[in-house]
Amino acid sequence: MTLILTIARIHFQFTVNTPIKLPDWSGSMLRGAFGRALRQLSCMTRQKDCAHCPLLNTCPYPAIFAPPAFERRILRWIQHFPRPPAPYILEPEGWGARVLGKGEKLRFGMTLMGRAERELPLIVEAWKIALRRGLGQGSGTAELDEVSLLPLAPGDETALLYCPAQDKQIRKMPSQQLASPPPTTVNSLMLRFYTPLRLQDNGRALPPVKLTTAFLLMSIVRRVALLAEIYGNGTPDWNFEELAQKALTAVGEKALYWRDWTRYSSRQQCEMDLGGVIGTWRLTGDLSAFFPAIFLGQWLGLGKETVFGLGRYKLTRDVV
């Protein structure tokens, strides 16, 4: 079965009006600002708690920002996912704390799936409000320059969707289908994690020494299968018990190290020390059954806090 996810890779560019102080990783800060603006635009009842709102199942805010718990009977392999993942992934531009001065550009990406893709005009308006209101310490502000659609395939061109100085409406977005590759023999792969990977056990992110190749492979399989079930063309016809056994035979060679970062939680009113592993992970063995999920995972991220842009990797296929 070919897995198909209809997604949109959106790129935003803003011009800074008042200095914006960016932390080491701005994904959490961007998400918080986006969520507040999206709720302001979407909420009709002004209730403090979405869970008891009569419009919960129709309002775009929870559907995009914090999808409610599953209401249907779910498959056994999804039992560890009581809530569906949010249908968006932020892609901040680069690691490292810095200050963007007046006139500099703030750029970031956002991958949209499901309803989020269909609500692009609302999402763009939320970002405009969020950056006018103020971002980060000091509440730096910025004005939207343009919104573009990034290509999925190398060599394809970027498509301009919206330029406030020229356009009154967002141009119709071409459909982007992310499809798994056809069956093929794969016995060696290299994964390069360039944002911290937080694979957890008992609520704790695992350091490099405790990460196993089997755990990595099955985590990728579950993540991709779940997104295909909710936002794609349905449940993949994978035998998860056989995959789990096959994952135990794969061999991994890790060159990973731990990277700490801190984010501020407005809900808990405190700073949270987080971190994850970055670096390379070479896999060898019979990887053919895992290759579709590993391939798609490059656009979907892996582990905890994928909405912040964590757990992103690039794939090099060494030997076929």
Each residue's pLDDT tens digit, 185-236: 999 999 999 999 999 988 888 999 999 999 999 999 999 999 998 898 877 8
**E-assigned strand segments in the chain:** 4-18, 20-22, 88-92, 98-100, 105-113, 141-149, 159-162, 176-179, 188-197, 200-201, 204-205, 251-265, 270-284, 313-319
pLDDT band, very low/low/confident/very high, at 121 (cuts 50, 70, 90): very high
Over the chain, what is the mean pLDDT?
89
pTM: 0.91
Q: Do residues 130 and 41 lie in contact, with contact meaning Cβ atoms separated by under 8 Å?
A: no
Domains of the chain from N-terminus onward: 4-178 (no CATH), 180-319 (3.30.70.1900)
- Summarize the confidence of residues 68-81 as an average pLDDT: 56
pLDDT of residue 73 exceeding 70: no
Of residues 312 and 168, more confidently modeled:
312
Please state which of the ranges 101-110, 119-128, 135-144, 250-259 shows the lowest mean pLDDT: 135-144
- Distance set, CA 45 to CA 53, 81, 121, 139 (Å): 7, 29, 21, 27
pLDDT in tens, 249-265: 999 999 999 998 876 66
Q: Do residues 306 and 275 lie in contact, with contact meaning Cβ atoms separated by under 8 Å?
A: no
Instruction: Tell me the angle at which helices 120-133 and 27-42 cross, rounded to the nearest 10 degrees.
Output: 110
C-alpha 105/C-alpha 217 separation (Å) is: 38
C-alpha 232/C-alpha 1 separation (Å) is: 12
Give pLDDT, residue 234.
79
pLDDT of residue 319 exceeding 50: no
Residue recorded with tokens 């990728």: 220
- CB neighbours of residue 3 within 10 Å: 24
- Summarize the confidence of residues 42-69 as an average pLDDT: 90
> Exposed (0-12), middle (13-18) or buried (19+): which is 270, by Cβ within 10 Å?
exposed
pLDDT of residue 55 exceeding 60: yes
Give pLDDT, residue 263.
67
pLDDT of residue 14 exceeding 60: yes
Of 86, 318, 91, 9, nearest to 192 by C-alpha is 318
pLDDT of residue 174 exceeding 90: no
